[in-house]
Amino acid sequence: MKGIYNIFLLIIAILGFHACGDIFDLDAPEISQDDIDGYLSLTTEIDSSTLNPRIILTAKIPEKIDDHEKRNIIFSSDKGKFITTEETNNPVTVNANILGLAEAILLTDGATGQFHLKAQLATQTEIAVSDTVKINNNRNHILDVIVDQGTDLKANGTDVITIHCNINKNLVLDKEYKLSLQHNVIGGKFLNTTDSNSILETLTQHANTYQLKVGLTPGNYDVTVKIEELGISTNKQVAVRKLDPAEVITIDEFDTNNILADGASIINGKLTIDNTTLTKIKMSSTGGSLLLSDLNNVVLNSNNKLDFDYKMGTGVEMNKITFTVPHPTPIEHIIEFMPMRSYPDDIFMELNHYIIDSMALNTTVVDVSVSTRKTNGMVSTGTPVTLEAFQVIDSKEEEVGQFENDYDAKTDTNGDVKGIKFRPLIHTLENTNDIIFIRATVLNQTQDSISTISEILINK
C-alpha cells in the first residue's frame, strides 16, 4: 500500500512539474517574426517639463517568461543618451519586470527634430519594434519678453517703460542662468541698479520685472534681453516721441484688410500734412514698394495732400511704411500691417528619376522639384508644401522611403520648392514590385488641399 502511495506522489510531482513549466515557459521556443505583434510592443511618451525634453520608452513582453536572459530588452535611438544606474549610454539593455514591462528614459541633450527609437529582444535582435517622435526646441519658448511702454511714451525724461521677462511656468530650469538687459535709449537709464545702461542678474523661475526711464531725445530704441548660456536673445523696440505724428500727418483710405502678399495687389492711400508751412515729405517702405518717382523728396499739391500707391511684395512679413516730415526734430508717421498669405491655385512636380532599377533602390537619390502657381498674382514666399512617398498595398497607402531636406519645404520667391531629395530605401518598401508614388500637397486660398502625384516605376 505504501508503494502505491509513493507511485501516486511521483505522478503528482511529474504533472506539477509540467504544469509549472507551462506557467513559467521554462522551455520557451524562439519567437518568429510572425509573432512579433503579439510578443513585443513599444510605447513612447514625451516629458516636456524640463528645458531639454525627455522621451520615456516602455516595452512589453508576455509575463510568463521565467528566463532572466530572455527578458532583456535593448533600447536604442539615433540620437540622445539613455539614463542608466551608472552612466548614460546608447543603446542600453533593460530587464523586464515580472509584468513583462521594461522602461528606459532617453535624454535629448538639446537635440531636436525626429528621434528614431527601437526596442528589440536581446536574445533575438531580429525581433524589434520601432517608433518615431518629434522633439521641439523648448528653448524657443522659455522666455517671453513684454515691454509695457503705455499709450503715450514721450521724451520727457520721466516716462518709465516696464519690461517683463517671464519664464514659461511649465518649464523647470535645470540650473542657474544669468539674464542680461541692455538698451540704447539716449539719456535713458535702468532704475534701481548701479549701471544705468545694462543689467546682469540671476534669472528666477517665473517673473522678472525691470524699469527703464527714457531720456529727452525722441527716437526708436532697442531693449535687448539675453540668456547667453542658452543662446537666447530677444530684441524689443521702444518708440519715444517728441511730437505726436498724428498731430501733423493724416493718412486716409489706406485699407489693408484682407490684403494678400501676392506681389501684385496695390493699396491706394491719401496723405495730408496739417501744417501749411510743411510742403514736402520723405517716404520709405519695407515688405512692398511705394510707386513714386522720388521717395526722398515728395512734393504735396496745393492743398498739402498726396495720393499714393503701395504695391505688395510676396513676403508674409510685417510691412512698414514710414512718412517723415523734414523738421529740426524730424516727425515720423509709421504704418505697419501684416498681409495675408497668397496661396496657389495649381501645383506641379518634376522628378529626375521616374524609373529605378530594383537593385539600385538603396543608392538612387531622386531630386524632387515642386512648383506652385496662382492665376492672378504670385504665391507668397515661404508657403508650406507637404511631401509624401507611399505604395498602395491592399487599397491602403503605406509610407515608404525617406525624404531629405523636406522638414522645411517652403516656396521661394518664384513659388518653387527645390533641393528636396528622396531615397527609396529597399528596407522601407512594402513590395519592390509596386510603384512608388510621390505626392506634393499645398493649401489653396480657400484652405482646401490641392495635390499633384508623380509615379516611380521599379524596374525588376
pLDDT digits (tens, 9 = 90+) for 360-372: 899 999 999 999 9
**β-bridge mates for residue 198, sequence order:** 182
Q: What is the mean pLDDT of residues 158-184?
A: 82
Q: Peptide bond preceding 344: is omega within 30 degrees of 0, i.e. cis?
A: no
Are residue 350 and residue 455 in the same domain, yes or no? yes
By the 8 A CB rule, do 297 and 255 touch?
no
Distances (CA, A) of 301 to 122, 271, 278: 85, 11, 11
Are residue 228 and residue 285 in the same domain, yes or no? no
Q: What is the mean pLDDT of residues 129-151?
A: 81
Which of 136, 157, 172 terminates a domain? The answer is 136
Are residue 307 and residue 381 in the same domain, yes or no? no
Joined grid coordinates for residue 347 = 501645383
* Nearest by Cα to 61 from 46, 73, 69, 47: 73
Count how many domains the chain has. 4
pLDDT surpassing 70 at residue 36: no
- The C-alpha atoms of residue 362 and residue 427 are separated, in whole angstroms, by 8
Q: What b/e sequence results for 228-239 when a residue is b if at least 16 CB atoms lie within 10 Å of its CB, and e otherwise?
A: eebebeeebebe
Angle, CA of 333, 218 and 327, to the nearest 5°: 60
CATH code of 379's domain: 2.60.40.1940
Are residue 252 and residue 225 in the same domain, yes or no? no
Is 96 domain-assigned?
A: yes
Q: What is the mean pLDDT of residues 22-40?
A: 54
**Structure confidence at residue 407 (pLDDT):** 63
**Structure confidence at residue 427 (pLDDT):** 86
Is 176 domain-assigned?
A: yes
Are residue 358 and residue 433 in the same domain, yes or no? yes
Joined grid coordinates for residue 392 = 498602395
- The C-alpha atoms of residue 170 and residue 312 are separated, in whole angstroms, by 40
Is 2 domain-assigned?
A: no
Tell me the residue ranges of DSSP E strands in 241-345.
249-252, 266-273, 280-286, 289-290, 298-299, 305-311, 319-325, 331-337
Q: Mean pLDDT check: name the lowest of 182-191, 343-352, 447-456.
A: 182-191
Residue 2: pLDDT band with limits 50, 70, 90? very low
Distances (CA, A) of 362 to 6, 137, 146: 68, 32, 51
Which of 337, 362, 390 terminates a domain? The answer is 337
Q: What b/e sequence results for 268-298 when a residue is b if at least 16 CB atoms lie within 10 Å of its CB, and e otherwise?
A: ebebebeeeebeebbbebebbebeeeebeeb
**Structure confidence at residue 231 (pLDDT):** 79
- The C-alpha atoms of residue 118 and residue 131 are separated, in whole angstroms, by 6
* Nearest by Cα to 272 from 315, 243, 295, 305: 305
Are residue 352 and residue 450 in the same domain, yes or no? yes
Is 18 domain-assigned?
A: no
CATH code of 218's domain: 2.60.40.10
pTM of the full predicted structure? 0.46
- Total number of residues shown for the chain: 460
User: Where in the sequence is the domain holding 388, given as residue range(s)?
Assistant: 346-459
By the 8 A CB rule, do 126 and 74 touch?
no
Q: What is the mean pLDDT of residues 426-450?
A: 90
Are residue 300 and residue 360 in the same domain, yes or no? no
Joined grid coordinates for residue 21 = 513549466
Residue 190: pLDDT band with limits 50, 70, 90? very high
**Structure confidence at residue 25 (pLDDT):** 42
Q: Mean pLDDT check: name the lowest of 65-69, 80-84, 137-141, 410-414.
A: 137-141
Joined grid coordinates for residue 95 = 530587464
Cell 518598401 locates to: 429
Are residue 236 and residue 147 in the same domain, yes or no? yes
- H/E stretch holding 348: strand 346-351
pLDDT surpassing 70 at residue 327: no
Are residue 213 and residue 234 in the same domain, yes or no? yes
**β-bridge mates for residue 249, sequence order:** 273
Is 10 domain-assigned?
A: no
Is 25 domain-assigned?
A: no
Q: Indicate the Cα dihedral angle 283, 285, 290, 296, nearest 10°.
A: 30
Are residue 356 and residue 451 in the same domain, yes or no? yes
**Structure confidence at residue 156 (pLDDT):** 67
Are residue 166 and residue 264 in the same domain, yes or no? no
Are residue 222 and residue 179 in the same domain, yes or no? yes
Which of 217, 240, 263 terminates a domain? The answer is 240
Joined grid coordinates for residue 155 = 521724451
Is 97 domain-assigned?
A: yes
Residue 30: pLDDT band with limits 50, 70, 90? low
Is 21 domain-assigned?
A: no
Joined grid coordinates for residue 178 = 544669468
